[in-house]
Amino acid sequence: MEYPSLQIANEILASHGDVSHMKLQKLLYYANGWWLATNGQRLLNENPQVWRYGPVYNWLYKTLSRFGHSDIGGPVKGNPFADAAERLGDGEEQGRVRTLLDWIWGEHGTKTAIQLSEETHAPGTPWRQIAEKYKFRVPYDVDISPERDWAFFAKLAQQRGIQTVPLIA
């Protein structure tokens, strides 16, 4: 199952709060990449795009841009007419997603947004591969494909001894 980016972002915000928009974007990128490598499918229902400061989920960007550089203190409603911010349910898969998000936070939660951005810009990363292809003048709306992210994160997983599964087309 693929989830809206805001729904997954809200899980991080509910557990950890006070996260900047930029840091949240990078945490979601890592969550989606690791989910791809270990489950063979996307976690989020949109692909990340190649933006100046690293991978960005465009719909989430549009929804959270009002926060600017300020930290986001908790879950956010994507629809001003909704009763509450959208969150995950209580099923088995949702529990696995929360476990992944807790692991992602443990791996990256103490890093700043700038540090995470620099990590996603490192040589060999999907963002860097695409940026180099365009000589760092990437047109608007260039996605990082699930295939490219899967290959990158599957390699990281294998280096750590974490079992991967093939990408489901």
> What are the tens digits of pLDDT across the range 32-63?
999 999 999 999 999 999 999 899 999 999 99
- Pick from 32, 12, 122: nearest CA to 74: 12
Tokens, residue 136: 């760092």
Whether pLDDT at 80 is above 90: no
User: What confidence score (pLDDT) does residue 89 get?
Assistant: 86
Q: How confident is residue 82, by pLDDT bands cut at 50, 70 and 90? A: confident
Half-sphere exposure of 101 (CA within 13 A, CB side): 23
- Pick from 119, 114, 109: nearest CA to 18: 109
Q: Which alpha helices (DSSP H) does 17-145 contain, by range?
A: 21-39, 58-64, 92-108, 113-120, 126-133
Whether pLDDT at 169 is above 80: no
Per-residue pLDDT averaged across 74-78, rounded?
94
User: What confidence score (pLDDT) does residue 116 get?
Assistant: 97
pLDDT tens-digit readout, 108-155: 999 999 999 999 999 999 999 999 999 999 999 999 999 999 999 999
Whether pLDDT at 65 is above 80: yes
pTM (two decimals): 0.96
Written as one letter, the residue type at 73 is G
SS3 44: strand
> In the predicted model, what is the mean pLDDT of the chain?
95
User: What confidence score (pLDDT) does residue 95 get?
Assistant: 94
User: What confidence score (pLDDT) does residue 62 get?
Assistant: 95
**How big is the CA angle at 165 (ends 101 and 105), to the nearest 5 degrees?**
15
User: What confidence score (pLDDT) does residue 83 get?
Assistant: 86
User: Domains of the chain: which residue ranges?
Assistant: 5-159
Q: How confident is residue 23, by pLDDT bands cut at 50, 70 and 90? A: very high
How many other C-beta atoms are found inside a 10 Å radius of the C-beta of residue 12? 23
User: What confidence score (pLDDT) does residue 153 get?
Assistant: 98
